Amino acid sequence: MRRSANPVVALLLSAAFPLTARAQDPGQVEIRAERLADGVFVLFGQGGNIGLSVGSDGAFLIDDQYAPLTARILEAVRGLTPEPVRFVFNTHWHGDHTGGNENLGRAGVLIVAHDNVRRRMSVEQVLARVGRPVDTAAASPPAALPVVTFSEEVTFHLNGDELHAFHVANAHTDTDAIVHFRRANVVHMGDTYFKERFPFIDTASGGSIDGLIAAVGQALAVMDADTRVIPGHGTVGTREDLRAYRDALKTMRDRVARSKAEGATLQEVLAARPASDFARAWGQTEAAEQSFVETIWVSLGTR
């Protein structure tokens, strides 16, 4: 992605809009593994959290962060299993989750994702913030594209588990899938869950506040009190954490929708600070809060 000349846009892109396939100073990044269940790990580095299943059937990765990190990610996997990486599953198309695809694809790893991941990665994408175009993402090289795609759901039977991946419509983007490790009782949410921070909804990629709330509801429906929940960004959570997040999203959405229905302008809604309590609770800036309020406004359209 091109670096923007506008410093405000550049800041937004780097801080709150991590779509770029380029890591920020990858030399300093350490890949850290946290064990969630037998043979199931989350890897933290830079970019979207990576899910990992290991066992006699091989390693299965969920998302792959940025290209400069591939060697370190593979080294971390080698520390947990002698078996090779056989699959990478993309939760959605954004570059901080698919940046390693080309390296892995060239190495013979089978890339799997929703139909729309391949569709969007195949051509240049406009990157927009609260409805306004700010940059573009170039089409990905053929080796980076998913080889197997699906429209609704797909199940992987490996390492003694069933990994059920299901599409959730128009949530963070229109390319999202959530992965449920049925036996290990772990769910990887992709970017339908930003733990204890304002979510980013990519409305230019078909994301929507109502779809996001519905997606979280679909994920909650497969969970129990013991489920470990991997967010796209943030630390591992529980079903209760995810419920609180869903309730927060609903509350903020309803506040904006009510004001809008009463005829308030966007400026009036922003001035009323309908998300300030969550900004305080999550330790987020007013800029992040107002950006999310405006995203809800844009997402609710002109109804």
- Minimum CB separation of residue 200 from Zn ion in Å reads 6
Neighbours of 139 (CB within 10 A): 14
Query: Rounded distance, CA 33 to CA 43, Å?
Result: 4
Cβ nearer to Zn ion, comparing 94 with 118: 94
- Minimum CB separation of residue 92 from Zn ion in Å reads 6
Cβ nearer to Zn ion, comparing 39 with 211: 211
Cβ nearer to Zn ion, comparing 69 with 257: 69
Query: Rounded distance, CA 224 to CA 240, Å?
Result: 9
Residue 270 in contact with residue 264, Cβ under 8 Å? Answer: no
- Minimum CB separation of residue 273 from Zn ion in Å reads 26
Cβ nearer to Zn ion, comparing 93 with 166: 93
- Minimum CB separation of residue 19 from Zn ion in Å reads 7
Let me know the angle formed at the C-alpha of 230 by 187 and 162, rounded to the nearest 5 degrees.
25
Cβ nearer to Zn ion, comparing 94 with 195: 94
Cβ nearer to Zn ion, comparing 191 with 294: 191
In the region spanning residues 189 to 208, those forming contacts with Zn ion, defined by CB under 5 A, are 191
Interhelix angle 239-261/286-300, rounded to 10 degrees, is 70
Residue 65 in contact with residue 47, Cβ under 8 Å? Answer: yes
Cβ nearer to Zn ion, comparing 103 with 175: 175
Cβ nearer to Zn ion, comparing 159 with 205: 205
Candidate ranges 35-43, 144-152, 184-192, 244-252; the one touching Zn ion (CB under 5 A): 184-192
- Minimum CB separation of residue 302 from Zn ion in Å reads 26
Query: Rounded distance, CA 68 to CA 22, Å?
Result: 8
Candidate ranges 91-99, 150-158, 256-264, 271-279; the one touching Zn ion (CB under 5 A): 91-99
Residue 126 corresponds to which tokens in the numbers above?
A: 């406009």
| 1 to 40: interface string for Zn ion, x by CB under 5 A | ----------------------------------------
Spell out where the chain has E strands: 32-37, 40-44, 50-53, 59-62, 85-89, 110-114, 125-129, 132-137, 148-150, 153-158, 161-167, 177-181, 186-188, 228-230
Q: Go through 58-69 and write b for each residue having 16 or more CB atoms within 10 A of its CB, e for each that does not.
A: bbbbbbbbbbbb
Residue 210 in contact with residue 64, Cβ under 8 Å? Answer: no
Residues composing the chain: 303
Candidate ranges 39-47, 89-97, 141-149, 162-170; the one touching Zn ion (CB under 5 A): 89-97
Give the number of residues in contact with Zn ion, rule: CB under 5 A: 2
Strands 85-89 and 110-114: parallel
Candidate ranges 58-66, 72-80, 185-193, 266-274; the one touching Zn ion (CB under 5 A): 185-193
- Minimum CB separation of residue 9 from Zn ion in Å reads 18
Task: Please select the residue that binds Zn ion; options are 40, 94, 282, 290, rule is CB under 5 A.
Answer: 94
Summarize as ranges the residues that interact with Zn ion (CB under 5 A).
94, 191
